[in-house]
Structure 1
Amino acid sequence: MYRKFKLSNGTRIIMEKIPHVKSISLGIWVNVGSVDETAENNGITHFIEHMLFKGTKNRSAKDIAAAIDDIGGQINAFTGKECTCYYAKVLDSHINIAVDVLSDMVFNSSLDEKDIEKEKNVVLEEISMYEDSPEENAHDLLFKTIYQEDSLGYPILGTRDIISNLTRDKLIEYMEKFYVPENMVISVAGNFDEKYLIDMLEEKIVGTGKKENIHLIKSKNKANFNKEIGVKYKDIEQLHLCIGLESFSMGSENVYPLLVMNTIFGGSMSSRLFQNIREDKGLAYSVFSYPTSYRNSGIFTIYAGINPKQLERVCSSIKEEINLIKNKGLRKEELLKAKEQLKGNYILGLEGTSSRMMGIGKSELLLNRVYTQKEVLDKIDNIEMDHIKKVIDKIFSKDNMSVSLVGNIDNEINIKQYLY
């Protein structure tokens, strides 16, 4: 059962007590991601995430790592399109250390000038590593192609020029705007004493002096979905193909029917897409589909890593599966199996405290509510064929399609003739 609290400065707390485990996972979530950036500071959110590990007024970077390593715990962070999370997993007897270290990092970071310059090189190497991954390139290019100038299409890592020109003043200004109590959620899952934890959070979080900022505005209009084709030439063996179709935003009633449909279409090894293109025809090693939902937009992505000579056949096979599901829908037994598969994946994903902490934290931060396990399972069980048909009709339209291609591709190829 989930419990919610608010600290005296307005920071939201969402927690789930699991008495039978010996671990506890804690995350400090900030409602800021690359979508909040501009063309002038793209990459700053991710860079700040790096910098908060580089030392505080009380600890060096090595002290931060050692504090958690010494107790056998784990500490990490990630930056997404819409949120940033700093998290730790420790034995329940060491929750005080996790709270102390995470709160120190997030609220007392020193942002030392020398560390900033060193970390720029680290992030630039991360960008280089990403550029060496053509599959990642294809997915990022798809977002850039679809959203163009909208910040949802910005790369999370940013660009070399912008990262190289970040200053301490810019980091501080950005943090003062977004790293405020009303824009944060602390999520906790595991074995803990509720009063002890709340008192400790009140001391460590509120004691930092951060006050509620009622002037932060996070509203944004729906991101425009542009139907374009993006191509990036790379002299590599494989061709990486992404097809993006306009989908549903976070919180939509269609999200769960979409998940069921995707399970059947391309979301698993037994899916139609995988069985047709890989197993039956041997045209690709990796082929799959997945939905992504944001507050103001959504994408349904089909990906295939292929031999460039097989592009036409793979596109034809994808179009074949799209036409089949559009014209004939799903069989009843497929729907039942997909619902069971989705429920099984969901329940198995809740086996650890980390996944539970992630689930409740992100949901509270972005949706301002958390669905119980029963509510989620009921949503899946209540999906009918009519719901699936509505999703299929919305998603699979040739007037609703963008494409990205990364690899050794002939610029004369007209991808539209294969897919449209």
Structure 2
Amino acid sequence: MIEMSYRLPQQRVLHTALPGPRSQELAARRKAAVAAGVGSTAPVYTADADGGVIVDVDGNSLIDLASGIAVTNVGASHPKVVAAVRDQVERFTHTCFMVTPYEAYIQVAEQLAELTPGTHEKRSVLFNSGAEAVENAVKVARLATGRPAVVAFDHAYHGRTNLTMALTAKNMPYKAHFGPFAPEVYRMPMSYPFRDGGTDGAMAARAAISRIEKQLGADSVAAIIIEPIQGEGGFIVPAPGFLPTLAEWARANGVVFIADEVQTGFARTGDWFACDHEGVVPDIITMAKGIAGGMPLSAITGRAEQLDAVHAGGLGGTYGGNPVACAAALAAIEVMKDEDLPGRARHIGEIALTRFRELAQEIPAIGEVRGRGAMLALEFVRPGTTEPDPALASAVAARCLQQGVITLTCGTYGNVIRLLPPLVIGDELLHEALSVLCTAIAELGTAGR
């Protein structure tokens, strides 16, 4: 990574208890105006953000280990992204690509063809959110194959729309009371090494394939959709061989293999995409989050023959590929290349995993340390068991916030702390954040046990 200069001081500073008075005022206004169903992890309100810090409305500077859920990989206000957005806004904010198109959309599609796995001929379509990308990937797969069924996996998260809720495994808070859901979605077992006894990846894949063949029949399956590393489900890294075996079976049976890289994409895992780690080439890949430095943009990129099979007008949307978001994406991709952010993600992972593995030797409540690159997790359990301990995960996250470090919890059982720092965070700030986290785990993981 090249030497970074930051607009804001890269330091943790607490002027008030959290939340401060101004954040509390905004919380009261929010309660009267914003629907209660919209939750927030931290009760502090952002005024500024840069590099690895978020400054709240009370002037507190917090270390960011969330990146807006893997969005601000290049930071929340990288000067190249800011300049690109400002330049585009001064020219035009919208015309709708389906009405009068513009070059930036094409440029983004060209970049995606270059960066995504595989050397086959590709086509792309741009949308606004990860859920939109997933919905449209399924549409393409069903049209291209003429088949109805879609296979998803245990612990999966694919979005909050009707179809993507059907694909998502976790009921609360994502699905509870929102049904009925889209039909022809079938769930299969996931490779979860910590909880399946370390089953060999290829063997776990064959078990899932056997269920698909017995329960559905390969000739009824349009697509398999899977996160190469599961996100909301707990940052579950499948055993080596699981993804390649599934992809090989899909290709042999005319099934579209969709890699949902909404959270794992764009340098986050130490490769441009998580599929790159085992050389898996998906037929369609879904992307969002880190693609545009915080501007709303998503995409699907896939085999030309599949995407081009869709009739004119069958794909699109009013705001899909908005010119401002496209400008931001082109700048963000340039930053990722120029500053070698895949390499930076690997460096972050080496620092964090070393510290976490040492800590795990001392704290039995840490069931597993896992992740890849700058997508890292600690799963908490009752010592001596694999019984999930969601209370400990919540307590650790709350303690970190009190100390000025923003973390996230996740997992089917709510017992995982996940780390998604901006890839431009400096080593000194990263070490400070990790020290706060490790201290919280050490204190809370042994208290009363």
TM-score, normalising length from structure 1? 0.27
Bigger-Rg structure (1/2): 1
TM-score in terms of structure 2 length: 0.26
| Structure whose residues are more often helix by fraction | 1
